[in-house]
Amino acid sequence: MAHNHDHEGQIPLTIICLISLLLGAVAEYTSILPETLAIWFYVAAYLSGGYHGFIETIEHLRKLELNIDFLMIAAALGAAILGEWIEGAILLFLFSLSGALESYALGKSRNAIHSLLKLRPSQGLRLKPDGTEELVSIEQLRIGDMVLVKPGEHIPIDGNIIKGQTTIDQSAITGESIPVSKEIGDAVFAATLNENGVIELKVTKPAKDTTVAKIIELVESAQKNRAKTQRLLDTFEPRYAISVVVAVIGLIFIPWLVFGHEFDSTFYRAMTVLVVASPCALIISTPASIISAIANGAKNGVLFKGGAYVEQAVEIDTIAFDKTGTLTKGKPEVTHTVVFDSISDQFIDDAEEEKKMLSVAAGCEQYSEHHLAEAIINYSKTKGAEPVKVENMTATPGQGVFAEISGRQVAVGNQKMFTERFDYWSKKIHQRAEELRKQGNTVVFVAVEGKPIGMIALADKIRPQARDTIAKLRGMGVKKIVMLTGDNPDVAKAIASDLGMDEVHADLLPEQKVDVINKLKSTGTVAMVGDGVNDAPALALSNLGIAMGAAGTDVALETADVVLMGDDLEKIPYMLRLSRKAKKVVWQNITFSLGVIVMLLAGVFLIDLPLTAGVIGHEGSTLLVVLNGLRLLRKSE
């Protein structure tokens, strides 16, 4: 039915209705019970079966609206007027049953989301300052508290690991099936499963603000944010109900008063029309499908913020990707090292000399805050190069670091630093640096006493699944795939050509990304994929804003229309497949339910379809539509 409420207690009432209906039939058609009791059993069936429909009807009549429930109640009363109590009772039983099953089915979709809540423990082990443990409810945990989590336990609250290491199954939040290894400093989320290590966390969010709480809140509001098709059907329902009532009044009075037909048979036919013309299946066709699709997405790490966005995703033909942190990992890594001997003006291939150069670079960078510094230090470690002890270190923002090692001046920095500070630079060094830049690298020079001893090239690595995702999107008919970045054009072009992008826009500020999105919108329906923090304006402006890896960022949860909880680009083709499947199921349901109405109406006028058959056809089609919608709960391949 098109019931807007979750009907508490509908199943018990449906059972009472069935029992009363059966007892009434026994009293009417056998001698086991006195026949005079039949009418009372039928009245009980009417009251229990029609209770929820009657409440809904009154609510709508208060707003001067007619709804489907009104049509059902009217048809059942019509049957009673004709003395066909049993047919009215069957109608109300089936009406009540399909309402109960619909509530159950939609409840099943919602439970798919609430199962997340069940994963979140209600208590956590708080560590007191004296080292003792106390079990407290998660609501009592405050930011800064220390919590102990043992192997095999679900993490009770969002926090950062301050002691221990482990692997964590984050599938409840990110939809990512492979467990992730976590160590000191890493963030962990409530409702995820600690697989093997004992860890201590420092609480970063109160229970009501954890990522899992936000997900549940988002999905709850998503179900209220209706799809366009559903909104159309909701406005169509009262108008259609009025037309049916007018038509039925005409069907009763015109044949009876104008053509002198017998009242009883005319009235019976009109009541059958009233039942079969009710668009129950049609009205439920969209919510049954859309809510199931939202639930499926949520279980697999894709959060739609409403039915409207499930439908919008189907229209997408242009996708704009932010580069850093979306197509790339967002963490630079060393790609090449070049060792140079300025005396012979030659490049040298010597592992020991490379180690020396890396030790100088790591020594200069070990106290730097720059994101490239971390990559250089990590790489030096893997090569076994210990950072050299440096003195008198000075950092020049936007250029690099000067220092002294045993009284000799050393420097690590970018091209700007060296062109401004040093006179002599070999042409060979310049050419090699240019080649590395063209391949999409950032180049850092290392010098001792003003002479270059080598270069370190770094690049933000492309995510392993980026190529595959873009190929899949092309295969799914996405016409234009574009990259937006604030990075320099050489790096951007190298990555874009590697991934096979149609267009690349580099050196962009956040507000310039908005201009590009506007331009793209003039030729297509645009989805913007970003990490949510600096992409918020572009996400908000696109036809569909998709935030990546939002398990950590609140801004992304708030500005995007669709949120991918993990850092998995593969979720984008999954989201498109799911929304297309949902649209297909919605239209299957709409076509089927309209077909059934037309067929049953034809049956009434051509073969005098009995009311009972009309009731079974009508309620049966409603159930089939709900079950078809529920198929969307299955993982879409």
The residues annotated with a catalytic role in the active site are: 322
With a CB cutoff of 8 Å and minimum separation 6, the contacts of 254 are none
| Separation between Cα atoms, residue 169 and residue 249, nearest integer Å | 62
Q: What is the DSSP string of 390-435?
A: -EEEEEETTTEEEEEETTEEEEEE-HHHHHHH-S---HHHHHHHHH
End-to-end CA distance of the chain: 30
Closest CA to 411 of 385, 447, 452, 357: 447
Environment class of 523 (CB within 10 Å of its CB; exposed 0-12, middle 13-18, buried 19+): exposed
Distance of CA 355 to the CA centre of its chain: 47
Q: What is the largest CA-CA distance in the chain?
A: 119
State how beta strands 442-448 and 451-462 pair. Answer: antiparallel
Type of residue at 43? V
* 8 A C-beta contact, residue 294 and residue 455: no
Environment class of 393 (CB within 10 Å of its CB; exposed 0-12, middle 13-18, buried 19+): middle
Please name the residue ranges forming H helices in 254-365. 263-276, 280-299, 307-315, 351-365
Fill in the DSSP letter of residue 255: I
Fill in the DSSP letter of residue 439: T
Q: What b-and-e string marks burial along 163-175, b requiring 16 or more CB atoms within 10 Å of the CB?
A: ebebbbbbbbbbb
State how beta strands 146-149 and 123-127 pair. Answer: antiparallel
Environment class of 323 (CB within 10 Å of its CB; exposed 0-12, middle 13-18, buried 19+): buried
* 8 A C-beta contact, residue 548 and residue 571: no
| Separation between Cα atoms, residue 271 and residue 250, nearest integer Å | 12
